[in-house]
Amino acid sequence: MPHGHRFRHLFMHGDGSMTGWFGDPEHYERFATRLQHRLRTRVATDVAALRLPAGAHVLDVGTGPGRLPVEIARRSPQVWVTGLDVSPRMIEAAKAAIEPGQQVIAEVGDVAKLPYRDGSVDLVVSTLSQHHWPDRAAALAELARVLAPGGRIWIYDLRRALRTAQVAAAVAFPGSDVRVEPVRSGVLGRLLGRLTVQPAGVPV
């Protein structure tokens, strides 16, 4: 059986929800522990290096069981972090993962219909979720709406899966620096890339 069909029940989510095997937070957590721990650490470290000001809003799209927002909050306790996922079961797990005193919120929502004000998000991150988005153009347009002036977007995914999103990002963010960079992190290694969107001329 071709690999694409063999793993379809794990990775294909027609409506963008965490259905099938990954729809169970415990199964997802076992996968994430083995394959995403280094990536999660890398993302949280990169966020901390930005030295965002107190009260800045970081949005994690496709948060799953919410491990990344918790990790970001540990390294950047001055920011507010929202974990967003279309799956109520995942958000239930994400709420349980929040540590006392952390400025972290977990809520159900759709990247194509974000429940946030225009210009209210300073940084958007997403890890291995983008390839589940049914309408990448609509998703990137929504991210453009909620992103604050000078804000950034970091979307981590398999590099081949980022091609459509890169095109959509170039349309949604005219004049911005839109690129896909290689990511060396954990088991996924050379397969990963990071789609970055930021104002032109700003250092990566």
For the segment 125-139, what is each residue's pLDDT rounded down to a tens digit? 999 999 999 999 999
Inter-residue contact 79 to 52 (CB < 8 Å) = yes
Q: How confident is the model at residue 36 (pLDDT cuts 50, 70, 90)?
A: confident
Q: What are 167-190's pLDDT values in tens digits?
A: 999 999 999 999 999 987 665 667
Angstrom CA distances, 66 to 60, 191, 199, stand at 9, 23, 28
Interatomic CA distance for residues 52 and 103, integer angstroms: 14
Written as one string, the DSSP assignment of 164-176 is HHHHHHHHHSTTE
Q: Is the pLDDT of residue 4 over 50?
A: no
